Amino acid sequence: MRNNVFLHLALGGVTLGLLISCGSKSDDLPLSSGPSGMIGVAAADAMLSKAQAYESSGKAGKATSVYKDIIKRYPYAGASAQARFSLARAYDQEGDLLKAFEQYQGLIARHPNSPHYAAAIQRQETVAHAAANGIIKNNFLGMKTRISPEKTEKMLSQIRDNAPRALSAPKAQFAIGRVWQQDGNADKSIAAYQKISTDYATSAQAPEALYQTGEIIILKSERGNQNKANVDRARRIFTDLIQRYPGHRRAADARKRIAVLGGKDIQRSYDTAEFYRKKGKTQSAIFYYREVLRTSKSGPLSDQAKQRITELGG
C-alpha cells in the first residue's frame, strides 16, 4: 500500500515534469490559483509589455493584435484589464466608438478594482449619450452611422446598471425615454419615463420625465385615440407633477396643460350636445349642454349652451 502511494507520487511528478518541459506552452496555461496560475500571470504580463512596446514604437496594428490575444487567453488577469483599456482607448482615438464601448464594458464588468475603472465608466457614459444624441462615428474609416434605438437603449441600460445609485443612472434612463420618443414609439418612451418615477423619484430628471409622459399621452389622443380616458390620464400625470414637485419649472407648465385639457373637455361636451341636437335627441343634448355649464362658469361655449337649453325647453 505504502509503495503504491510513492509510485503514484512519482508518476505524478514525471507527468507534471513532462507537461512543463514539453507538453505545454506557458502562454496556453489558464489563469488560476497555484503554480500554473503564476505562470499564466507572468505570461500575460510579458505579452502586455510586448504590446506596449509595439504601441510606443508606432506599431498600432501589432499592439492591437497582442492586446486582443491577452484578453482572449487571460480574461481575468490584471494585464487583461490594462489590455482592454488600451484597446478601448485606441478604438476611441480612431473614432470607432462602438468597439470602444464594448471594451470599456468588458473592463467594468470583469475588473472593478482596475485603476482605469473610473475612467472607463466616464468615457463609456460619454459614448452612450453621443449615440443617444444622434449620429456618431462607429468604424475606423470615420463613416458616420445612426445607431438604432435598440442598440442605443442597450448601451444606456448598461450605463444605468453599471452604477445604479450614481447620478448617471437616471440620466441614462431618461435618455432611453428620449430616444424612443424621438423615434415615435410612444409606448416604449412612456415605459422608460415611468421607470424614472418609480426608481429615481428624487432625481433631477423625474419632473421632466413626468411632464414628457403627459405630453406623449396628449399627442396620442390628438392623433387618433381621442377618448376621455387618455385626457384624464394626462390630467392625473400633470396633477401628480404639481403635487410632487411644486417648485419645479415644469409645475407651472403642467398647470397650463391642465387648463388646456379643461377647455378641450368643454369643447368635447358642447360638440356632443350639438350632435344629439341635430339628431333630434333632445334629452341627450340637454344633458351635455348642462355638462358644459358644470365645467365652465363663463365664456362663449357656456353662453351658447345656456341659449341651446332655453331653445330646447330644458
- Residue 210 · residue 189 · CB < 8 Å: no
Radius of gyration of the CA atoms of the chain, in A: 33
List average pLDDT for each run of 10 residues in the chain, which is 314 residues long. 39 37 38 49 94 95 96 93 96 88 95 95 92 65 69 95 95 96 94 96 96 92 68 92 96 91 74 84 83 75 80 81
Q: How many other β-carbons are positioned within 10 Å of the β-carbon of residue 91?
A: 23
C-alpha dihedral, 16 to 70 to 57 to 144, nearest 10°: 170
Considering Cα of 263, then 235, then 219, then 170, what sign does the dihedral take? positive
Tell me the three cell numbers of residue 307.
Answer: 341659449
- Render pLDDT for 253-269 as a digit per residue (tens, 0 to 9): 999 998 888 777 777 77
Q: What is the pLDDT of residue 35?
A: 39
Tell me the three cell numbers of residue 169.
Answer: 443612472
The rounded Cα 278 to chain-centroid distance in angstroms is: 52
Q: What is the pLDDT of residue 151?
A: 92
- The Cα–Cα gap between 1 and 107 comes to 51
Considering Cα of 93, then 95, then 99, then 104, what sign does the dihedral take? positive
- The Cα–Cα gap between 292 and 314 comes to 14
- Residue 270 · residue 292 · CB < 8 Å: yes
Instruction: Give the per-residue SS3 of 17-30.
Output: HHHHHHHCCHHHCC
- Residue 63 · residue 18 · CB < 8 Å: no
Give 135's strand partners: 146
- Residue 282 · residue 301 · CB < 8 Å: no
* List of domains in the chain: 37-163 (1.25.40.10), 178-246 (no CATH), 265-314 (no CATH)
- Render pLDDT for 207-240 as a digit per residue (tens, 0 to 9): 999 999 999 998 887 765 556 788 889 989 999 9
